[in-house]
Amino acid sequence: MIATPSWFSECRMLRLFLLAIMGLSWVLVGVARPFTARDLVTLERVSEPQISPDGTRLVYTLRSVDYNANKSSYAIYETTPSGAEPRRLTAVGSNANAPRWSATGHSLYFLSTRTGSTQLWRLDGAGEARQVTHFPMDVNSYQLSPDGLRIAFAASVDPTCDTLQCSADHAAARAARKSTGVLYERLFARHWDTWGDDTRAQLFVATLDPDGTVTAEPVRVSRGLDADVPSKPFGDESEYQFAPNSQTIYFTARIAGTTEAWSTNFDLYTTNADGSGSPINLTAANLASDTAPVPAPDGRHLYYLAMAQPRHEADRFRIMSLDLISRETREVAPQWDRSAGALSLSADGHTLYALADDQGERPLFAIDVATGNVQRLIAGGNITQYTRSPDTTIVLRDTLVAPADLYRVNATGQGQAVTHVNAARLTGIEFGEPEFFHFKGWNGETVRGYVVKPVGYQAGHQYPVAFLIHGGPQGSWLDDFHYRWNPQTYAGAGYAVVAIDFHGSTGYGQAFTDAISGHWGDRPLEDLQKGWAAAQSQFPFLAADRACALGASYGGYMVYWMAGVWAKPWKCFVDHDGVFDTRFMYYATEELWFEETEYGGTQYEHPANYERFNPLNHVADWSVPMLVVQGDRDYRVTPDQGVAAFTALQRRGVPSEFLHFPDENHWVLKPQNSVQWHDTVEAWLQRWTTSETKK
């Protein structure tokens, strides 16, 4: 049974609390202005909170945007858990991130580009920061050993090299070549937004000299494994950890070989931190994903996250316990039907902490190691990161009406704001009011959605609608402040927003998530149709005759699908990096395990599965105006998908436009590109949702 603090029992109470503590003047009637895309991209972003071991100091990374320069910078700030005035700790003019306290709390380590490459630095007290590493390769991520004598770090190196300098020399020689061809013998040839080269992410351990610097050559503890450690493209330091005695290190790896592109078989390995011996696979019996090792203080138990279904990236991450002596495993909370993430352990080893999507929120949970009982420590909104000392918990939380800030959590689950990094920027800005609703969707099961009223809403009026469809497809429209698909940008432009967590969404149990596999075009479509009908019946301010549907990735697939099978309600469509041809998608994308799970196997073995809900087969029925957006460095949903859809629209004579970003991947990340994206989308919506516009 999951216990929930009553303070967070209603999302509306949370929003009122956030407004009160931030003291923003935009709550006053008559002085507000709408929120815009330019506001969105210039907000400062908090991340990586780290509380000192004694609980008295709190540091975090702050991202700031120079809009004119079209770039971001990162710095580390310090405050206290009670919310003292923050002060900058790192130098202006260089990026700094990844702050970590030493075990004693005397030193603060961080990564910085101050000398031109990314290296590890250390700050002692109020003195000047000192450079710890002087490697010829960038430090991608790191962990400190508990005894403070070693660091583990990841770097992209030539796996045939014995030294970091050898890797640097090979990289220089490769860059100096006049020929540009690269010969590939296996997949991945490209992954996410990068073409492969002859390097791999590898895990090293370096010993700190008595003065706290590193001068000796580090040892490569992942040597002998044909794997990226941590994984690409988004793996980080959570995939490797020192044992409590600092003599052993645990890490995650997936052996590449010739099957990497269709395998999710990540395993946990153990090896000696001094580089002696060879890595030992601890989870070979499980052919699905094992990751995120968390050693127990007793030195005997290792906690980690594991999926049960091979080649399924959206299976539930279960919390597992491994006895390192007997090698027996058990699931800690088998009745908890949620997928855990951001796993950590209390100092006494009795309580595990994790984040998980849950009914449109992402709370912080505490799990009793012995009994598996789960308690929701703090709920409401979207908690993305947290840090703990013995007496204090700090969370990074955002909601639909508030960008991310740090909050201190007390024993009853209440929160108090520690930072207010965007308070000045948000002064005088009004947000649209969100409201959640439920309805009976596919199979008569309860489905959740939300609406956001437009800024300046007046009762009795009707407003055009932006109907948003999330990607994944195993994702969720959380109560969060999204930095790309943010409903407040539409509310600020005068649109009501409707968003549905259709079958396939996360946070409602694994069966709900799995319901979409093999059913991309029917079960979620039924939810969207019934959700649209329910929203109209419950919210009369929605102008059903002036609505456009928008989606990206799977949401983009659904837009293409709706264009052929459910076009009647919509004045226009917006499709971002969507799947237009499910058949060719199998051969053009990079992570084949996803396609093979969703469609029950390969395309050549099960062609009918790939044709059943293929938008390409319904182009003859396309008639609704569509804006297509595509990033050229998107190797997940490749650029040909967007070009082909635009070709189909133009050849059919359907009003259409194509926005192409040659320097963006599956997402639009550069500040000015993001504003261009929003301006183009809003102009398209305006063109087709004004009452006098005719098709």
Residue 408 covered by a domain? no
Q: Coil, helix or strand for 556?
A: helix
The pair of three-digit structure tokens given for residue 611, joined into one six-digit string: 């044709």
Nearest to 500 by CA among 545, 543, 436, 564: 436
Q: Strand 301-306: give its sheet, edge to edge.
A: 290-295, 301-306, 318-323, 329-331
Going by C-alpha positions, the residue among 251, 346, 338, 325 that lies closest to residue 291 is 251
What's the pLDDT tens digit per position in 81-139?
A: 999 999 999 999 889 999 999 999 999 999 999 999 999 999 998 778 999 999 999 99
Whether the Cβ atoms of residue 497 and residue 466 lie closer than 8 Å to each other: yes
Q: Is the pTM of this model over 0.85?
A: yes
Residue 266 included in any domain: no
Instruction: Give me the mean pLDDT over the 253-282 stretch.
Output: 97
Pairing assessment for the beta strands 496-501 and 463-469 based on DSSP bridges: parallel
Domain-located, residue 463: yes
Task: Using CB atoms within 10 Å of the CB of residue 344, give its burial: 0 to 12 exposed, 13 to 18 middle, 19+ buried.
Answer: middle
Identify whether 653 is part of a domain.
Answer: yes
Band of pLDDT at residue 31, cut at 50, 70 and 90:
low
Q: Which of 134, 103, 53 is nearest to 246 (CA)?
A: 103
Give the model's confidence band at 679: pLDDT under 50 very low, under 70 low, under 90 confident, else very high.
very high
The Cβ of residue 191 has, within 10 Å, a number of other Cβ atoms equal to 18
Say how far apart CA 274 and CA 557 lie, in whole Å: 49
Instruction: Find the mean pLDDT for residues 654-677.
Output: 98
Q: What is the mean pLDDT of residues 464-488?
A: 97
Contact 132, 213 (CB under 8 A): yes
Query: pLDDT for 4-15, tens place per residue?
Result: 333 333 333 333
Write down the pLDDT at residue 691: 65
The residues, any chain, with a CB within 8 Å of residue 25's CB and separated by 6 or more, are 31, 427, 428
172: amino acid identity, one letter: A
Question: How many domains in the chain?
Answer: 1
pLDDT, tens digit, 9 for 90 and up, residues 152-204 = 999 999 999 999 999 999 999 999 999 999 999 999 999 999 999 989 999 99
CB 398 within 8 A of CB 404: yes
**92 falls within a domain:** no
Q: Is residue 610 part of a domain?
A: yes
Band of pLDDT at residue 414, cut at 50, 70 and 90 = confident
Domain of 644?
431-689
- Supply the mean pLDDT for the chain: 94
pLDDT band at 379 (very low <50, low <70, confident <90, very high): confident
What is the tens place of the pLDDT at every residue in 485-542?
999 999 999 999 999 999 999 999 999 999 999 999 999 999 999 999 999 999 999 9
- 195-228 pLDDT, tens digit per residue, is 999 899 999 999 999 999 999 999 999 999 999 9
Looking at the domain assignment, is residue 606 inside a domain? yes
Q: Distance between CA 449 and CA 529 in Å, rounded?
A: 12
pLDDT of residue 78 exceeding 50: yes
Task: Kindly report the CATH number assigned to the domain that includes residue 612.
Answer: 3.40.50.1820
| pLDDT given for residue 18 in this prediction | 36
**How far is the first Cα of the chain from the last one, in angstroms, to the nearest whole number?**
54
**Torsions phi, psi for 101 (to 5 deg):** -80, 145
| 86 neighbors 405 (Cβ within 8 angstroms) | no
Q: Is residue 620 part of a domain?
A: yes
pLDDT tops 60 at residue 68 = yes
Query: At residue 458, does pLDDT exceed 70?
Result: yes
What is the pLDDT confidence band of residue 694, given thresholds at 50, 70 and 90? very low
Chain segment 594-634, per-residue pLDDT in tens: 999 999 999 999 999 999 999 999 999 999 999 999 999 99
Beta strands (DSSP E) in 420-474 are 429-430, 434-440, 446-452, 463-469
Dihedral (C-alpha) 57, 60, 66, 72: value to the nearest 10 degrees? 150
Instruction: Show the DSSP H helices in 398-455 as ranges.
Output: 423-426
pLDDT (0 to 100) of residue 9: 33
Q: What residues are paired with 437 via a beta bridge?
A: 449
Residue 32: per-residue pLDDT:
84
H helix or E strand, kind and range, residue 567? none
Q: What is the dihedral of CA 513, 516, 517, 518, to 10 degrees?
A: 160
